[in-house]
Structure 1
Amino acid sequence: MTADFFWAPRPRPTRGPKAALTLDQIADAAIAIADAEGLAAVSMQRVAADLGYTKMSLYRYLPGKAEMVAAMLERALAHPPRLGNPWREALTDWATALLAAYTGHPWALEASSGRRPIGPGEMAWMESALRVLPPGLSGAERLDTVATIAGHVRMIVGQVAESDLTAAMGMILRDHAATYPAVVAAISDVAAHGGADNAFAFGLGRILDGLECLLEQRASVG
C-alpha cells in the first residue's frame, strides 16, 4: 500500500501510448461494481475488463487494489457540505451529509476501515468539521469530538446494513417474550407512541448536548 498515493507527484511516462484513462474513470467503474455486487467483487481484473482494458494497463494509474479502493472512497465521499453557523446546526449538517454518503455506498463503511491511503477528500471532511467547532476545546478534544460524531455515523450505517436483525428479534420475542420483558416493553411503547428509527438524530443530539454542557461548565468556571 502506498501511503502517499494521493499526494506524491505522479511521474509522467516518457514512452508508450498516451494515457487514455483517468483515476476518476477507474474509480467510477469500480464503484459501479461495488454498488451492485459489494466490495468483494472489485478487482483490478474486473475493473479493467469493464473499462475495456487489460489488467496490466491499470498499473499505469495505481499500484494495486488498495489504492483503487482508496480512490473509490474519495469519489464516494465527494466533498463535505458548506457549513454555516451556529456550530450545533453546522455539525448536524456535517453528520447528516456523511451519513448520506455512507448509506449511498454501503461498501464505503468497509473501505474506510483499517490502514489505507488518505486522500484530500477525507482530509476536507475533517477540516470542515474542525473549523466549525466552538472555542473552549483543546486540540485533542476537537479531534475527539469529530471522531465521536463520525463514529456515531458509522455505527448507524452498520445498523442499517444489519436491519434484518429487527425482524429476527420479532421472531424470537414471539416465543420468548417472558424472558425479555424490558425489550417487549420498549417495543410495545414504540408501537403505541412511535419514535422508531430515530437513533441517528437522538444519538447525535445527545453528543452535542454533552459538548454544549462541557463548554457551559468551563465558561462558568472561567
Structure 2
Amino acid sequence: MPTKNANKVNQAWGKRPPPSRGPKPALSTTEIARAAIELADAEGLEAITMQRVARTVGVTTMALYRYFPGKADLLDLMIDSAGDSVPNFGKPTSPWSTRLKEWARRCLAIYQNHPWFLEATSARRSIMGPNELLWMEAALAMLAESGLAAADRHSAFLALIGQVRGHATFQETKKQGESTQEWTHDLAHVLKSEADRYPALLKALDSGAFSKKPARAFDFAVDCILDGIRARVK
C-alpha cells in the first residue's frame, strides 16, 4: 500500500505520472473527486474514506490507490474542484471594490455549499491547487486596481479571506447549536441579570443587532475592509 509520502505535490496540479502497470484507468481523477464531493456534501467529511469512495465510484479500494496515493491527495483535488472555474465578478468596467465584494460573496458561497470545505482546508498541509490560486490571483489583481502598494495587497487579501472563513466558521457553529432566537433569548436573560457589567452588550442586544440576517453582517464587515483600503490609498 502507498506510503504517506508517496506524493508531496498537490494532486490538483496533475504532476503525478500515470501508472505504468495494470489496465488503463477507466475513470479520471476529476470524476472521482466530483463523486467524493457529492458524498461529502451529503454526509460530511467523515464519510470520505478510501473504502467508501471506492464503493461510490465502483472500483476496489486498491484500484482507487492507482488514482490517489492516499486520502490527503483525494482531498486536495476535492478542495480545488469545489470552487469550479474562477467566474467573472461583474463587468470589467465596474469599480474594483464592487467586483471584490462579489468575489468575497462567491467565495463564501463555496463554504456554504460545501460544509466540509472549512474543515478540509484547515487540515491541509500541501500547497494550494491551480484553481484556488486563480481565485487568489483574481483578488490580488482587483486589489492592484485599488492603488494599494504591492506589499500591502496580500495583507488586504488575508483580511478578506479571514472574514470569509470567520463568517463560515460562525455559521457552521450556529448550525450545531441552538437556533438564533433561542440563543438570543438565553443571552438576554443573562445580560439583564448582569446589566451593570455588560451595558454595551445589552445595548447592542436591545438594538436588535443580534437578530440581523447573517448576510447583512457579512456585507457590513466586507464594506469596512474595503473602506479601510480606500482610506489607505487616498
Q: TM-score range by the shorter chain?
A: 0.7 to 0.9
113-122 or 45-54, which deviates more: 113-122
Length, aligned pairs only: 215
Structure 1 match to 2:160: 149
Note the C-alpha offset of 1:41.
Answer: 1.8
2:33 aligned with 1:27: yes
CA distance in 1 between partners of 2:71 and 2:219 (Å) = 35
Give CA deviations for 1:5-59 in whole Å, capped at 9, x if unaligned: 3335332334321111111121122112211221122111110011121111111
CA distance 1:65–1:189, shift in 2 (3 Å):
same
**Amino acid of the structure 1 residue aligned with 2:165:** R
Note the C-alpha offset of 1:169.
Answer: 4.5
CA distance 1:135–1:153, shift in 2 (3 Å):
closer
Structure 2 match to 1:71: 77
2:176 aligned with 1:170: no
SS at match of 1:95: helix
CA distance 1:7–1:75, shift in 2 (3 Å):
closer
Among 106, 115, 134, the residue aligned to 1:124: 134
Note the C-alpha offset of 1:140.
Answer: 2.5
Among 86, 107, 117, the residue aligned to 1:108: 117
CA distance in 2 between partners of 1:196 and 1:52 (Å) = 43
Runs ≥4 residues deviating over 4 A: none
Structure 2 match to 1:7: 13
Structure 1 match to 2:233: 215
CA distance in 1 between partners of 2:40 and 2:212 (Å) = 33
Check the 8 A contact 1:5/1:117 in 2, yes or no.
Answer: no
- The runs of 5 or more residues in structure 1 that have no matched partner are 217-222
Note the C-alpha offset of 1:184.
Answer: 3.1
- TM-score, structure 1 normalization: 0.87
CA distance in 1 between partners of 2:190 and 2:132 (Å) = 46
2:69 aligned with 1:59: no
2:86 aligned with 1:86: no
SS at match of 2:107: helix
CA distance 1:207–1:135, shift in 2 (3 Å):
closer
Give CA deviations for 1:77-99 in whole Å, capped at 9, x if unaligned: 11222132311101011001101
2:50 aligned with 1:44: yes
CA distance in 2 between partners of 1:157 and 1:4 (Å) = 24
CA distance 1:79–1:142, shift in 2 (3 Å):
same
CA distance 1:30–1:121, shift in 2 (3 Å):
same
2:206 aligned with 1:188: yes
Check the 8 A contact 2:40/2:47 in 1, yes or no.
Answer: yes
- The runs of 5 or more residues in structure 2 that have no matched partner are none
CA distance in 2 between partners of 1:8 and 1:24 (Å) = 10
CA distance in 2 between partners of 1:15 and 1:103 (Å) = 41
CA distance in 2 between partners of 1:117 and 1:44 (Å) = 22
